[in-house]
Amino acid sequence: MFKKLREARRQKALAAGYQIIVNVEKLETRVAQLRESKLVDYTIERTGDENIVGSIFKGRVKNIEPGLKAMFVDIGTEKNAFLHFWDAIPAALDKGLEEVKRKKSQKKPKYISAKDIPSIYPVGSEVLIQVSKGAIGDKGPRVTTNITLPGRCMVLMPLNDQFGISRKIDDPKERQRLRKITEKMNVPEGMGVILRTVCKGQRARFLIRDLRILLSQWEEIDEKRKSNKAPTCVFREPELVERTVRDFLTDEVAEVLCDDEATVQQMQESVAKISPRSRKRIHFLPTKQPIFERFNVEKQIKSAFDRQVWMPCGGYIVIDETEALIAIDVNTGRNRGGKNNSDKMILETNLQAADEVARQLRLRNIGGLIVVDFIDMKGRKDQNAVYRRMLRQTDTDKAKIQVLPLSQLGLMEMTRQRLNESLSRSMFNDCPSCQGSGRIKSAESISVELQRKLSGLIQRGDDSLSDLVIVVHPEIMQRLKEEDSNDLLDMERRHHGRLTFRSDPSYAREDFKIVCQSTGKEFTS
């Protein structure tokens, strides 16, 4: 009887909230967040990977670039960190936060502008910085002097004395309650805190306990900063499992299931320091079937790498990652609608596309400039409906995101905070043949290039180039044997020598090599 009641309560919780699935393997740890069995967030961390986003370093200024309004800081990594002047100025609170006035009188901080930064941090000086964006491509990590330490309930700002409350807590009474708690908290002078959305409904003692943990953490960081020479890391962002407990285990999460007993114990111990009640939501799930397959996560992950993503209505979106921006195209596909309901069908497709775009951005960890080409809508009402839908779907995104209304051309421009490489770029290498373009030359084109190269060598009239050996990919060899055999025989007669063709499967399809047997000289494509 009680077992049935517990299961009923569990199913009710799952219907209303999220489910987190953790897969632990020797080489990789994966965390999937599901809502109604649908994958909404996905994170991986491989053994040996060094995720420095959020980590704090004591660095040394190597050089200043006034033209870029930036400086480069040695933090002990392969590439120097990039510190923009604006990131070295004490930051104001984000628009998503409501400022809470402190009762105690605080010294007004001295106004600092970008012009003051080179004199504050001259070449050779030490600076405490936090990585805000990991190294991407040939660019080093981006850093800031605005240090933040995230906890479960709040964020501590040890070098900023501002207080703030998340605007996502929309209940006026709850906001008033949290303001009173914030005002009474014993936060050291010169420091500030931000109350996260998870604070909603939390008792004061939980917030005070969270603050105590963060202050203790900052004391350790400050001690390392004082006792170690630059460059050095004074705080390392926790591994994926611990970050999952800290960032994802909110009241909206119904349960956490993991296939590794030791990891479950680790998560339970971590969460017990903050919220002992939450331990009951973390479970070990022994299963013969891989846990991601059991919950149909594996199949959904594979679709995250597809260029074309289908939607329930029969329409689909096409996602193309380029160097400059992410282009997303919306198509009706199989959703034809009725003769008299074309506007309704277009609106339905675009609304589902807004849902899917927001989901795909999170899954693929796409950042930067994003342009979505929605299906043209005549009415401004429908356009606004799609815009509001996108705002609502991106509101829960952990990364900072900005969405603009649809333009006159039916395009929606968005920017999403880029913290690390996208999922596809971190998991895949560019094809050595096409260099990531997705296109390679046809066999005919390669044959034309080869024959042009041979003709050029023959026209030299060099007697030393008598016997030539040509090495090509097997597919190209097939083309030379069949369609182009007569042309090559004619070329050989004009050459007054011998042309020997060999295939080598180790060669890339577009590559070939011409070798002179008498001299050993090589000519490549």
Apex 403 CA angle, 401 and 407, nearest 5: 155
CB-based burial of residue 175 (10 Å sphere; 0-12 exposed, 13-18 middle, 19+ buried)? middle
Domain ranges across the chain: 2-47+253-297, 56-236, 304-427, 443-524
Q: Per this entry, what is the length of the chain?
A: 525
Q: Span 443-524: which CATH code?
A: 3.40.1260.20
Rounded to whole angstroms, the Cα distance separating 125 from 62 reads 8
Q: Assign a CATH topology to domain 2-47+253-297.
A: Nucleotidyltransferase; domain 5 (3.30.420)
What is the distance between the alpha carbons of residues 62 and 176, in angstroms, rounded to a whole number? 47
| Residue pLDDT tens, the chain, 525 long | 545 545 555 565 565 578 999 999 988 999 999 988 889 888 888 877 777 888 999 999 999 998 889 999 999 888 899 999 999 888 777 777 788 877 655 566 677 778 888 888 999 999 999 998 888 777 889 999 999 998 878 899 999 888 888 888 888 899 899 888 888 888 888 899 999 887 888 888 888 888 998 999 999 999 999 999 999 999 988 888 888 877 766 767 889 999 999 999 998 888 877 677 778 889 999 888 899 999 999 888 887 778 899 998 889 999 998 878 999 999 988 876 655 578 888 999 999 999 999 999 988 888 889 999 999 988 899 999 999 999 999 987 888 899 999 998 889 999 998 777 677 776 777 776 666 667 788 888 888 888 888 887 777 766 666 788 889 899 989 988 888 888 888 887 776 677 888 899 888 888 888 888 777 788 876
Residue whose C-alpha is closest to residue 30's, from 259, 223, 188, 275: 259
> d(Cα 217, Cα 147) in Å, to the nearest integer?
13
Looking at residue 2, its pLDDT comes to: 46
Count of beta carbons in the 10 Å neighbourhood of residue 497: 16
Q: Which H or E run includes 524?
A: strand 522-524
pTM, to two decimals: 0.73
Distance CA 182, CA 425 (A): 42
- Cβ contacts of residue 492 below 8 Å, gap of 6+? 498, 499
Q: H-helix or E-strand containing 302?
A: helix 297-303
d(CA 161, CA 476): 69
SS3 assignment, position 509: coil
Class for domain 304-427, per CATH? Answer: alpha beta
